[in-house]
Amino acid sequence: MSYAGVWFRGDVRLAANPAVAAASKVNGAERAVPALLLLSPEQMREHDWAPIKWDLLRQHLQEFVKDAAEHGIALSIEVIDSWAKAAKAVKRFAQEHELTELHFNAEYPVHEQRRDRAVKAVLEDHNVAVHQHHGSLVVPPIITTQAGSMYQKFTPFAKAWREYLTDKGLPPLTTLPKRQSVPVAAIPEIDYPQRDSSAWEVGETAAREALHRYLDENVDSYAAERDMPGLDTTSRLSPYWELGILSPWQAIHLLAQQSPNFPAGLDKGADTWLNELIWREFYLHLMQHVPRLSYGKAFLKHTAAMQWRNNEAEFDAWCRGETGYPIVDAGMRQLASEGWMHNRVRMIVAHFLVKDLMIDWRWGERFFMQHLIDGSFAANNGGWQWSASTGTDAAPYFRVFNPTLQSEKVDPDGSYIRKWVKQLNDCPAKQIHAPAAWLKQRGRDDYPAPIVNHKQARERFLSAFKAL
């Protein structure tokens, strides 16, 4: 007789989880489903987990262990030193529960793939069948060009992604059979810094309700307002995708209710929002296909020769939000305060660091991961390489954002800047994007002058990149 267990990783949810559904089906409604979650503070440090991201997961687990117990998921949470110890821990779990099958959802960076191969090898040596699912993606990483290679540009990838969904249909929204409840799992204490994440709701139910609210009430205006940080009308669901509290399958099914021809036929706002989900999948596919991305390497190999300035004092000013460019400083101060930053502003501050200051994109990538509540290795890496013109589908190297013009475009009335740069709270809208002269007229020195001349910095960057 078969007996199946689940190994939770970046998918701490019960709904729309194919690994949980498959194990539940094997065991039937009468038998509990043994489940394991491994926590490793050392891996979290190695992967630069932000303390606020860990706190959100920790708070979510308080709800998750109760939901799991209520649905007959016999969860065990164990702390290990590193992924190198995962195979031993999973083997012990399988033997304790006399499992014949183990189900889990794939993760795509190199370390995680190596961990999973080791687990698979150990379990299959002990006659435990291992089943890997793709519960973190709507479309598994199998779509290729006509030549059989991976897509290196987003637009053709997105077209193929939509065609795959049209041809194959939506992945099913799985439900759990009713079964007898089991004891609630204990959550071990781990030695890792914490930063309060209480501004964010936790629990599957709350996350699903937030998704429903956004798609019901706000998605129609997404295309028109997504680049305006002062409006703050984006979904703010990214931490839930990253920790697997929400499944992209759930979003897809809700969007499909808006069009009988889904994924075609959506209104502009919903279709633009869907495109952002496809960007997320694009970067996860790249993790599967391009291992060097997991080692801090540029996608475009020739850009490895770039000679970065890496001025530490200027990097520190960028980190503190004291560059003298208000839109950049507002974004960095929002990150410091909330552990989150508006997506358009992420692009602006990244361009400024890489192209105005000529600081290695990996410095910014790591700083973001150390502070973002939604820090996704795949999406963060993809975004930074796009900004640095080193990645797939990267911005052309000659595209250098002018931070002042960007500021005027995305925050015309200065409301976002005033919220985060308090020294400019009384600065008029016409002067707030370049306030140096206005401040000088008033004899004020409480806000820094620009640390770099954009025009000169642009020419410096273009000259260096052309040499490649």
Residues known to be catalytic:
276, 279, 308, 343, 361, 384
Question: Does residue 281 have a known ligand-binding role?
Answer: yes
- Rounded CA gap, 225 and 228, in Å? 5
Question: Does residue 236 have a known ligand-binding role?
Answer: yes
Question: Does residue 235 have a known ligand-binding role?
Answer: yes
Question: Does residue 418 have a known ligand-binding role?
Answer: no
Question: Does residue 359 have a known ligand-binding role?
Answer: no
DSSP for residue 449: P
- Please list the alpha-helical segments (H only) found in 339-414: 343-351, 361-371, 377-388, 403-410
User: Side chain identity at 362, as an amino acid letter?
Assistant: R
- Please list the alpha-helical segments (H only) found in 97-203: 110-125, 154-168
> Could you tell me if 239 and 373 are in contact, meaning their C-beta atoms sit under 8 angstroms apart?
yes
Beta partners for 74? 34
Question: Does residue 238 have a known ligand-binding role?
Answer: yes
> Got the DSSP string for 221-258?
GHHHHTT-TTT--S---HHHHHHTSS-HHHHHHHHHTT
How many residues can be counted in the chain? 468
Question: Does residue 397 have a known ligand-binding role?
Answer: no
Question: Does residue 214 have a known ligand-binding role?
Answer: no
Question: Does residue 237 have a known ligand-binding role?
Answer: yes
Of 277, 272, 288, nearest to 161 (Cα)?
Answer: 277
- Helix 403-410 vs helix 326-338: crossing angle, to nearest 10: 70
Walk across the sheet containing 4-8 and list its strands. 73-79, 33-39, 4-8, 101-105, 129-133
Question: Does residue 277 have a known ligand-binding role?
Answer: yes
Question: Does residue 279 have a known ligand-binding role?
Answer: yes
Of 7, 11, 247, 260, nearest to 138 (Cα)?
Answer: 247
Question: Does residue 315 have a known ligand-binding role?
Answer: no
Question: Does residue 54 have a known ligand-binding role?
Answer: no
Token couple for 315: 């990097």
- Rounded CA gap, 388 and 454, in Å? 16
CA 381 remoteness from chain centre: 10
Beta partners for 4? 101
Q: Pseudo-torsion of CA 230, 234, 235, 239, nearest 10°?
A: -80
CB atoms inside a 10 Å sphere around CB 139: 23
Annotated binding site for FAD: 222, 234-238, 273, 276-283
Annotated binding site: 222, 234-238, 273, 276-283
